[in-house]
Amino acid sequence: MSPIKSGLPDLAIFGGKPAFDSALHVGRPNVGDRRALLKRINDLLDRNWLTNDGPLLQEFEQRICGLIGVKHCIAVCNATIGLEIVIKALGLSGEVIVPSFTFVATPHALRWHGVTPVFCDLDPDTHNIDPLRVAELITRRTSGIIGVHVWGRPCDVGALADLARRQNLKLVFDAAHAFACSHEGRMIGGLGNAEIFSFHATKFVNTFEGGAIVTNSDELATKIRLMRNFGFAGLDTVMSLGTNGKMSEPSAAMGLTSLESLERFIKVNRRNYHLYQQQLTKVPGISLSQYQEDEKCNYQYIVLEIDEAVAGINRDMLDDILWAENVLTRRYFYPGCHRMEPYCSADPQAHLRLAQTERLAKMVLCLPTGSAISSAEITAICALIEFVVKHAEAVKQRLSMRPLFPHPWKSGSSQEPLI
Ligand code: T4K
């Protein structure tokens, strides 16, 4: 690591040596106690039971129910399939209102099942769907609302639940980011008709690939369990349409091992967040999205908003500069799902009613956190950002005289280099 920059030529984007020798990723997986994981994997191999409602899967589901205080947990092979199963099980049809500022899995799960996602604008303070805007989008074709707890910060659950009740709509929460977070003292997981967590490798608790559907409804849970396993209710009896959404035993082994380190992962994320907070408050035009610390938070995303008018440079410039230094920042959720296919072709005017989404998608940059990054590396990243903002005028001028940063992996012209 050689983070100190004394002049513009030291910046890697202008030919200097990158601050970091190897890449710092957003979403580097947390791995718990490797020995405990390998023991579980050895045991499952000895048992010769690899998937299909195995003992590790059952233990994982029970652990989640206990942790969240929810009646039913149905673990699945990923959160996208989890969303799809809930969409089918609740019979969502016609139109469903969703944020555009989310990972594309949220609208894709609907569209995959022939339901039209209707994109709703967000509240700029929380980055979550704005209930006032949701109300304006309800039509006779609307069958439900899917709120997303973006960055693990809860939606305005009360207002959405109220709206759903009054309009007789189903309410689902995509809680992919919100495992182990709370809302008004209650753990996320028991809200709405159902909530879906992601345990993808990049989430702070992971099962390699995986997710879980949680609900307090007995009836819905029974339906979902059937649908997860092709609709089978016995060896030869199929009760409903279904898919293969099962989580395998190695994934459950990773999940149980991750849960054993849950508190440690949160502690590390919290420490990282406070370190970024302390060091970035002094940088004008760069604001770190805040977590509500009187609630339970998992702190798994470090989210900056870059205000060009104050910082002197914009988000994309900072993104390019940091990538050149080997800090692989992410522009989640640029450009907004409404600007992605098939949605932009289906509704090319959607941006006109999504002013806050459009604005935010151009300002947000996510930074690396988790157990794979050290305090020294965080301090070095903050020093880099401070340096760039301090010299914003000159940096901007020099950037305008050179071609765009041609990072092969970023432009999609090459696969990620194996590290
Ligand atoms: N709803 C919401 C709101 C979501 O955010 C997501 C997923 C879903 C639903 C669907 O959940 P799943 O079906 O995935 O369970 C990543 C994740 O793949 C995705 O799970 C996540 N959200 C999204 C926010 O981030 P990408 O396309 O950015 O992934 P990728 O491959 O570029 O990886 C991100 C970074 O992590 C890279 O810098 C590389 C690093 N990485 C990745 C993997 C897989 C590693 O260092 N090691 C690894 O093993 O989507």
Nearest alpha carbon, ligand 1 atom 47: 28
Fold of 8-27+262-329+368-399: Aspartate Aminotransferase, domain 1 (3.90.1150)
CATH 3.40.640.10 residue ranges of the chain are: 34-260
The mean per-residue pLDDT over the stretch 378-403 comes to 93
pLDDT of residue 413 exceeding 80: no
DSSP strand E in 113-183: where?
Answer: 116-120, 142-148, 170-174, 182-183
pLDDT at 130: 97
Nearest alpha carbon, ligand 1 atom 35: 27
The mean per-residue pLDDT over the stretch 366-393 comes to 96
The mean per-residue pLDDT over the stretch 150-173 comes to 98
The mean per-residue pLDDT over the stretch 350-379 comes to 97
pLDDT of residue 166 exceeding 50: yes
Mind listing the pLDDT tens digit for each residue in 224-275?
999 999 999 999 999 999 999 999 999 999 999 999 999 999 999 999 999 9
- CATH code: domain 34-260 is 3.40.640.10
Share above pLDDT 90 across residues of the chain, in percent, rounded to a whole number: 93
The string of DSSP codes covering 302-363 is EEEEE-HHHHSS-HHHHHHHHHHTTEE-B-TTTT-GGGSTTHHHH-TTGGGG-HHHHHHHTT
Q: Which amino acid is at 35?
A: R
pLDDT of residue 419 exceeding 50: no
Dist CA 332 CA 335 (whole Å): 8
Burial of 302 from C-beta contacts in 10 A (0-12 / 13-18 / 19+): buried
Dist CA 160 CA 191 (whole Å): 11
pLDDT of residue 58 exceeding 50: yes
Mind listing the pLDDT tens digit for each residue in 185-213?
999 999 999 999 999 999 999 999 999 99
CB distance 79 to ligand 1 below 6 Å = yes
pLDDT grade for 418, boundaries at 50, 70 and 90:
very low
pLDDT at 9: 84
Mean pLDDT of the chain: 95
CATH 3.90.1150.10 residue ranges of the chain are: 8-27+262-329+368-399
Dist CA 335 CA 391 (whole Å): 28
Share above pLDDT 70 across residues of the chain, in percent, rounded to a whole number: 95
**C-beta separation of 338 from 312 below 8 A:** no
Q: How far is the CA of 205 from the centre of ligand 1 (A)?
A: 12
pLDDT of residue 7 exceeding 90: no
pLDDT of residue 345 exceeding 50: yes
CB distance 23 to ligand 1 below 6 Å = no
Q: How far is the CA of 149 from the centre of ligand 1 (A)?
A: 16
